[in-house]
Structure 1
């Protein structure tokens, strides 16, 4: 079994079962026909960012660490607010999204965009009142254009 398949199975198992120990996880994997070593499971747990914590019922179990998602949501909310405050116009040229800002606000906006990990962005370039967001392809640029235009209204 490939590592990615094992990771997907582990995620499913911890969502569907109360898994309190690595031994329990190993046993569940074995039931599914996957033979893995303790070292492999330890590495998988670390890579999947699984932590032991109390669930909604108070039982201690393995769950996926959510800080990264919550942090990303907070940063996105900050970017939405900043867009409303400083962006005056949004244009797109092929794979680039051009954000026109209030004077001297482009560097602040570019920094906020750079803080967020998103597959639609390769990098930003900031001037005095314009931020250019370079995307890997035109489809990604369209997604960014829609995001920024939505937050202008």
Structure 2
């Protein structure tokens, strides 16, 4: 199956069913006759900008991120970052030249990718774990500026 067709099917599955894990998504794809590896599904989730949010029971489920689609326009990338900050950031800390951003479970890699997509002189790079993004700046002043940007958009 072509990547575009698989992406369309994944969108349909996530919209129609409650999918909580990559394993459940793989099972739904298999029911549709599609065989894929976990690595392929991970890339698809990143490409489709799928995030996990809590449902009415408090358990997390996959949804398509509702921000703008990726674009070469820097303003669109920044707006996508702002919308993601609003939706997934739960706490922010700063330690010297590092900003630590805590997210809803399993959303740190997507937030880090959105941060990396935006050109900002205050950041050197980002590192993502499961629910935490560490953004490294060159100086404490740059880290403070970046921290203030995140704080201004986070709904804490």
1: distance between equivalents of 2:118 and 2:100?
17
- Residue deviations 1:96-152 (CA, integer Å, cap 9, x gap): 000000000000000001111111110000000000000010011001110111101
Q: Which residue of 2 aligns with 1:79?
A: 81
Deviation at 1:73, TM superposition (A): 1.2
Q: Which residue of 2 aligns with 1:109?
A: 111
- Residue deviations 1:29-85 (CA, integer Å, cap 9, x gap): xxxxxxxxxxxxxxxxxxxxxxxxxxxxxxxxxxxxxxxxx8111111110000000
1: distance between equivalents of 2:149 and 2:121?
14
2: distance between equivalents of 1:115 and 1:132?
15
Structure 1 stretches lacking a partner, 5+ long: 1-69
Taking structure 2 as the reference length, the TM-score comes to: 0.52
RMSD: 1.1
Q: Which residue of 1 aligns with 2:90?
A: 88
Task: State how 1:40-79 maps to structure 2 within 5 Å.
Answer: 71-79=73-81
**Could you say what secondary structure the match of 2:146 adopts?**
helix
2: distance between equivalents of 1:136 and 1:117?
15
1: distance between equivalents of 2:118 and 2:149?
14
2: distance between equivalents of 1:107 and 1:76?
17
2: distance between equivalents of 1:97 and 1:88?
13
Structure 2 stretches lacking a partner, 5+ long: 1-71
- Looking at CA atoms only, which structure, 1 or 2, has the larger radius of gyration? 1
Taking structure 1 as the reference length, the TM-score comes to: 0.53
Deviation at 1:95, TM superposition (A): 0.4
Q: Which residue of 1 aligns with 2:129?
A: 127
